[in-house]
Amino acid sequence: MKRPAVEGMDQSEEERRTTSERAVLVSVRWGEVGEEETVESLRELQSLAETAGAEVVAVLAQTRQRPDPATLLGRGKLEELRLISDSTDADLVIFDQELTPSQQRNLENEVGLKVIDRTALILDIFAQHAHSKEGKAQVEMAQLRYQLTRLTGRGSELSRLGGGIGTRGPGETKLEVDRRRINARIKTLNRELKDLTRVRRIKRKRRQRLGIPTFSLVGYTNAGKSSLLNALTEAGVRVEDQLFSTLDPTTRRLILPGNRQAVITDTVGFINHLPHQLVEAFKSTLEEVREADVLLHVIDASAPHIDRRTRAVERVLEELQADRIPVIYVLNKVDLLDERSREELSKRYPGAVLTSTLTGEGLQELREKMAAFTSSRRALHIRLPVEKGEMLTLLYRMGQVLEMHSQDNFYRILAEVPEELVHRFEPYLDDDGSEDYTVGVR
Ligand SMILES: Nc1nc2c(ncn2[C@@H]2O[C@H](COP(=O)(O)OP(=O)(O)OP(=O)(O)O)[C@@H](O)[C@H]2O)c(=O)[nH]1
Ligand SMILES: [Mg+2]
């Protein structure tokens, strides 16, 4: 709640946070980057800025042959930035592109305002949203690592242009510490995190010993992962229309059709250009993803440029070495789609489950698919007449198609099929070379 500032008294930290800073957004593009991509990226930067508590007062974009090494922006645009910042009474400038420490310094000198980049902004949001001990430690670690790369003997210049966005830590620690102290702090945090990771590992091992399959929700931030966890388990996890509302992993039990026990974990969302310091620092949280038996990749079906977001998520999964875990695609928020986009998306994401956590649509289908993924499965080579569309649908709905190509009037398919469905495909088994190995759940 916003309290009026009392005259003559220092503004409290809470009040300072709720008084929004006025931000100018800047994007400098070069090379082959399309117009559409720039607009989308700026829109996302705006939601990030607003999530951090800023008010966006102006946006400036420039496309150049190549970036200016000293300031990214060319001279003319730099002048324009100065004018806009003045006339809008801005407090800070946020660049969509990563800035080197010297570019940041040059820009701050030229504009006379605090200048931060996308990475610092994301780190700031994480700092505000970290609640648990582990979350705080991880964010602080990421921030210190980021700081460390930017310490080029410029002392405590950060304080020169004020605090606020880009300078906040998860505690109220100011980030003006020198390299030695940063390194010492990183060491302590490392130790703390190791202990916390150990506890989490023990719990996970116990589940694995009991043979309880684990699902992990992954996806772009704001796709509806926490909403889905709540809808499937009544977990009561915080859901908000803002970016990165979840940082701490939540694990819940759930009973799938056939009375099968499972657990499902919700964790931090991904984004385009997720700072690698964060991925690195959130290793223990993200271990939940790497150790899952099945991933539920939640996609906001109503968002623009879905494929780009999906790719961004997949890139992070690769970075986490989680890209070989079986995936169920969940196209969420379908209540916002018309019939045509639904059909188009179902074609583009074959086998995906269309859900709405708002109307409950698709949730039962998702439960069934999850149950199918937990039974042991067999890899089959299948030769299916093209007119057997319903069998293909079944394969996509309950199994996982690994390879498929058409030949004459047949599809030749390699797919993993739940044991209890194998008999339905027996008439279509491809004789040559059907090595059927059993794929079990760890
Ligand atoms: N229309 C519609 N909105 C939804 C649906 N599912 C979730 N939302 C909304 O989408 C927003 C984000 O939902 P969350 O569940 O917090 O998303 P998240 O993926 O956990 O987001 P982060 O934790 O921030 O990464 C909220 O405003 C939800 O109310 C849905 O099926 N339909
Ligand atoms: Mg969430």
3-state secondary structure 79-105: HHHHHHHHHCCCCEEEECCCCCHHHHH
Q: Which of the residue ranges 13-22, 354-363, 373-382 would you say has the lowest mean pLDDT?
A: 13-22
| Tens-place pLDDT, residues 187-245 | 999 999 888 888 888 887 877 777 788 999 999 999 999 999 999 997 777 788 888 88
| Any ligand 1 atom below 6 A from CB of 243 | yes
Going by DSSP bridges, is the β-strand pair 400-407/327-332 parallel, antiparallel, or unpaired?
unpaired
**3-state SS class at 228:** helix
Residue nearest to atom 4 of ligand 1 (CA): 333
SS3 317: helix
Q: State the distance from the centre of ligand 2 to the C-alpha of 247, rounded, in angstroms.
A: 7
pLDDT grade for 59, boundaries at 50, 70 and 90: very high
- Checking if the pLDDT of 386 tops 90, the result is yes
pLDDT of 181 over the 80 cut: yes
For residue 439, what are its two tokens?
Answer: 């794929």
Q: Of the bound ligands, which one is closest to the alpha carbon of residue 357?
A: 1
Question: Is 246 within 8 Å of 226 (Cβ atoms)?
Answer: yes
pLDDT exceeds cutoff 60 at 172: no
Highest mean pLDDT among 12-16, 275-279, 318-322: 318-322
Q: Can you spell out the DSSP letters for 235-265?
A: ------SSTT---S-EEEEEEETTTEEEEEE
Rounded to the nearest whole angstrom, what is the distance from the C-alpha of residue 103 to the centroid of ligand 2? 34
In this structure, are residues 422 and 378 in contact, taking their beta carbons and an 8 Å threshold? Answer: yes
User: Is residue 309 within 6 Å of ligand 1 at its C-beta?
Assistant: no
Whether residue 419 has its Cβ less than 6 Å from ligand 1:
no
Residue 375: what pLDDT? 80
Instruction: State whether the beta carbon of 244 lies less than 6 angstroms from ligand 1.
Output: yes
Interhelix angle 225-233/363-374, rounded to 10 degrees, is: 80
Cα–Cα distance, 330 to 385 (Å, whole number) = 28
Q: What is the largest CA-CA distance in the chain?
A: 86
How confident is residue 400, by pLDDT bands cut at 50, 70 and 90?
Answer: confident
The radius of gyration of the chain's CA atoms, rounded to the nearest angstrom, is 25
In the predicted structure, residue 50 carries a pLDDT above the cut 90: yes
- Which ligand does the CA of 366 lie closest to? 1
Please name the residue whose Cα sits nearest to atom 16 of ligand 1: 239
CB of 220 sitting under 6 A from ligand 1: no
Place of tokens 């999850």: 370
- For the stretch 292-317, pLDDT in tens is 989 999 999 999 889 999 999 999 99
User: What is the dotted CATH code of the domain comprising 376-439?
Assistant: 3.30.70
Q: Residue 95: beta bridge partners? A: 26, 117
Centre of ligand 2 to C-alpha 234, Å, is 14
Please spell the DSSP secondary structure of 30-41, one letter per residue. ETT--HHHHHHH
Q: Residue 209's pLDDT is what?
A: 73
The confidence score (pLDDT) of residue 432 equals 57
Name the average pLDDT for the chain. Answer: 84
Q: What is the pLDDT of residue 284?
A: 77
Task: Determine whether the shortest distance from the Cβ of 226 to ligand 1 is under 6 A.
Answer: yes
333 Cα to the center of ligand 2, angstroms = 14
How many A from CA of 297 to the centre of ligand 2?
13
* Segment 91-115, tens digit of pLDDT: 999 999 999 988 999 999 999 999 9
Pocket test for ligand 1, best of 222, 228, 232, 299 (most atoms within 8 A of CB): 222
CATH class, 20-210 region: alpha beta
Give the Å distance between the CA of 356 and the centre of ligand 1: 10
Our CA angle for 364, 366, 322, nearest 5°, is: 160
CB distance 51 to ligand 1 below 6 Å: no
Q: What is residue 68's DSSP assignment?
A: B
Which sequence spans correspond to the domains of the chain?
A: 20-210, 211-373, 376-439
Task: Please state the pTM of the whole predicted model.
Answer: 0.80
SS3 30: strand
Do 20-210 and 211-373 show the same overall fold?
A: yes
Average pLDDT estimate for 376-385: 89
From CA 135, how far away is CA 126, in angstroms rounded?
9
pLDDT tens-digit series, residues 257-277: 888 889 999 988 998 888 888
Q: For residue 167, what pLDDT is reported?
A: 67
- 164 or 185: whose pLDDT is higher? 185
Q: How far is Cα 237 from Cα 220, in angstroms, rounded to an integer? A: 17
Phi, then psi, of 88 in degrees rounded to 5: -100, 0
Q: Which tokens in the block code for residue 276? A: 């690698």
Residue identifier of the C-alpha nearest atom 1 of ligand 1: 333
At which residue do the structure tokens 């906040």 appear?
Answer: 168
Which of 47-61, 262-276, 329-343 shows the lowest per-residue confidence on average (mean pLDDT)?
Answer: 262-276
Measured from the CB, is residue 333 less than 6 Å from ligand 1? yes
- Tokens 């399309």 correspond to 34
- Which of 38-52, 139-153, 276-290 has maximum average pLDDT? 38-52
Residue ID of nearest Cα to ligand 1 atom 21:
222
Which secondary structure element, helix H or strand E, spans residue 418, and what is its range?
A: strand 410-418
Task: List the helix and strand counts (H, then E) for the chain.
Answer: 15, 14
Q: Which residue has the higher pLDDT, 403 or 377?
A: 403
pLDDT of residue 8: 38
Q: What is the mean pLDDT of residues 59-74?
A: 92
Helix ranges restricted to H, 130-210: 133-150, 179-209
For residue 297 and ligand 1, the question of a CB distance below 6 A is answered with no
- Which of 234, 265, 357 for mutating ligand 1's site (highest number of atoms within 8 Å of CB)? 357
Topology of domain 211-373 in CATH is Rossmann fold (3.40.50)
From the CB of 227, is ligand 1 less than 6 Å away? Answer: yes
Atom of ligand 1 nearest to the CA of 239: 16
pLDDT band for 420, please (50, 70, 90 cuts). Answer: confident
> Could you tell me the distance, in angstroms and rounded to a whole number, from the CA of residue 434 to the centre of ligand 2?
42
| Res 18: pLDDT | 55
Other C-beta atoms closer than 10 Å to the C-beta of 326 total: 16
CA 132, chain centre distance (Å): 19
Q: What distance in angstroms lies between residue 381's CA and the mean position of ligand 1's atoms?
A: 39
Q: State whether residue 300 is helix, strand or coil.
A: strand
- In this predicted structure, what is the pLDDT of residue 161? 54
What percentage of the chain reaches a pLDDT higher than 70?
87
Query: Does ligand 1 have an atom closer than 6 angstroms to the CB of 119?
Result: no
Is any atom of ligand 1 closer than 6 Å to the C-beta of 335?
yes
With 0-12 / 13-18 / 19 or more C-beta atoms within 10 angstroms meaning exposed / middle / buried, residue 47 is middle
The number of the ligand 1 atom at minimal distance from the alpha carbon of 221 is 25
In contact, 229 and 264? CB cutoff 8 Å:
yes
Rounded distance from Cα 80 to ligand 2 centre (Å)? 38
What pLDDT does 337 receive?
96
Q: Look at residue 440 in the predicted model and tell me its pLDDT.
A: 43
Contacts (Cβ under 8 Å, ≥6 apart) of 372: 398, 399, 418, 421
**What does the pLDDT read at residue 206?**
79
Q: Are 304 and 224 in contact (CB under 8 A)?
A: no
Burial of 99 (0-12, 13-18, 19+ CB in 10 A): buried
